[in-house]
Structure 1
Amino acid sequence: MPNELIWILFALINFGMLLLFYRLFGRTGLFVWIGIATIIANVQVLKTIELFGLTATLGNIIYGTAYLATDILNEKYGKKDARQAVWLGFSTLIAMTIMMQVALQFEPGASDFAQGPLQSIFGMIPRIALGSLAAYIVSQYFDVWIYDKLRKMFPSDSYLWLRNNGSTLISQLLDTAVFCTIAFLGIYSPSVWLEIFITTYIIKFIVALIDTPFMYAAKYMKVK
């Protein structure tokens, strides 16, 4: 199955699972999802794939669901809850980074087979995490701020798409610039780095458009 088809199905599964968490657990489900998405995205981003003929990193879809989750919180519960969710994701990533770095310090047993793969994945996490933490806190705070501004400027439900897409598209550009600079500059050649930067934002742009119907579904979903 081609990567492009898997990617589309993967996007639908991710956003569908987010709505399922929200439907089953309400506002708490969104907070939990943001913690999950933050950790998984920072593991998946280590994998590069060929998508639409370009080199891209994985993890952009589930990372995009975190923006949708904060937009839902902002829309239905207010800016305070959205900001609290941002800090939850931030704290979750810090906790994961610390715990895995300590775990790697244990001397593996003679029959251990996991130390090498874990070292390969989580050994890069500190730099990835630093880039992600900086990008996440800057862009998510900006996303919450601009969404709240757009909600006040365009309060009608007919402009829900504008609030959702406008805030996400701008904040994702900021996120991509900060993350790619800290995480990948110097690791890849300048041409590959620029390609990753461009394709990462294009993919995030597409993900932001895909999440629009899910935002409308969440807006009118009856939850406790």
Structure 2
Amino acid sequence: MFNLYFGIGFALVNFVLFLLCYRFFGRTGLYAWIGAATILANIQVVKTIEMFGIIMTLGNVIYGTIYLATDLLNEKYGEKEAKKAVWFGFFTLIMMTIIMQLVLIFEPAESDFAQPHMEALFGLLWRLALGSLAAYLISQFADVKLYSLLRRRFPKPEQLWIRNNGSTMASQLIDSLVFCTIAFAGVYSWDVWWQILLSTYVIKFVVSAASTPFIYIARGYEFPEEHEQRQ
């Protein structure tokens, strides 16, 4: 039960830090958060934990906040800004992958202790790297488009939860399908593949629902300097 209770606290820490990043730095903070969260999610996913008798990876909470950030950008600044943020996160992911692969090529000194640990974190198989890149790009653009469609269908301020959860839950299903298909199809039996897919998506579903109060809080933040720039 420790992982469950600690996981709840861990999720709250992620959401609070997200709010602080936006509160202190405004729209720029959302871009910074997306860049940092993209890198952190791909580091955390290396670690596995057990919860409810199921083995799962970390990284789903911080990854879920990326959708929260793009939805907030779409809500307050428009679809164009949200798409720009998606490309920013994609570039961050590619940048990390290329640079860290080059770092691993350097021959370590005899006194070095970091190489095997860095290989464990960043020495990804090509299928995992490709799956991560493809899933991010496809699902994030799907999220932006779905959010815009839902905003036209449910435009009222109090219907924000429909826009946020509807777009995120649908796009994260796409994310899970793309990643698991590219990374694991043919590697595991279909029974195991379905278990990985369903357990991953259920976690993302819960994280998305839990993030709802925080997007309402963030939407209420006002930044006079941003209003002046748009005028």
TM-score, normalised on structure 1? 0.96
Pairing 1:52-91 to 2, within 5 Å after superposition = 52-91=52-91
The 1:125/1:42 distance shift into structure 2, 3 A limit, reads: farther
Q: Distance in 1 between matches of 2:68 and 2:125?
A: 24
Report SS of the residue matched to 1:50: strand
Q: Deviations over 1:159-205 (max 9, x none)?
A: 11000000000000000000112223344454333222111000000
Work out whether 1:127 is the aligned partner of 2:130. no
Report SS of the residue matched to 2:49: strand
Q: Which residue of 1 aligns with 2:227?
A: none
Q: Distance in 1 between matches of 2:3 and 2:220?
A: 33
> How many positions carry a matched residue from both structures?
224
State the AA in 1 paired with 2:123. G
Pairing 1:62-211 to 2, within 5 Å after superposition = 62-124=62-124, 126-211=126-211
Report SS of the residue matched to 1:195: helix
Pairing 1:18-33 to 2, within 5 Å after superposition = 18-33=18-33
The 1:29/1:66 distance shift into structure 2, 3 A limit, reads: same
Work out whether 1:47 is the aligned partner of 2:47. yes
State the AA in 1 paired with 2:30. L
Report SS of the residue matched to 1:46: coil
Work out whether 1:36 is the aligned partner of 2:36. yes
Q: Which residue of 1 aligns with 2:228?
A: none
Q: Distance in 2 between matches of 1:81 and 1:104?
A: 35
The structure whose RCO (Cα within 8 Å, separation 6+) is larger is 1
TM-score, normalised on structure 2? 0.93
Q: Which runs of 5+ in 1 are unaligned?
A: none
In the TM superposition, what is the alpha-carbon distance from 1:153 to its structure 2 partner? 1.1
Q: Which residue of 1 aligns with 2:223?
A: 223
Q: Distance in 2 between matches of 1:66 and 1:4?
A: 22
Q: Deviations over 1:14-69 (max 9, x none)?
A: 11111100000000000000000111111111222111221211100000000000
Q: Distance in 1 between matches of 2:126 and 2:10?
A: 27
CA RMSD of aligned residues (A): 1.4
The 1:169/1:71 distance shift into structure 2, 3 A limit, reads: same
Q: Is the 8 A contact 1:86 1:137 kept in 2?
A: yes
Same amino acid, percent of matched pairs: 59
In the TM superposition, what is the alpha-carbon distance from 1:126 to its structure 2 partner? 4.1
State the AA in 1 paired with 2:129. A
State the AA in 2 paired with 1:32. A
Q: Deviations over 1:89-115 (max 9, x none)?
A: 000000000000000000000100111
The 1:189/1:6 distance shift into structure 2, 3 A limit, reads: farther
Q: Distance in 2 between matches of 1:73 and 1:125?
A: 33
Q: Distance in 2 between matches of 1:43 and 1:194?
A: 24
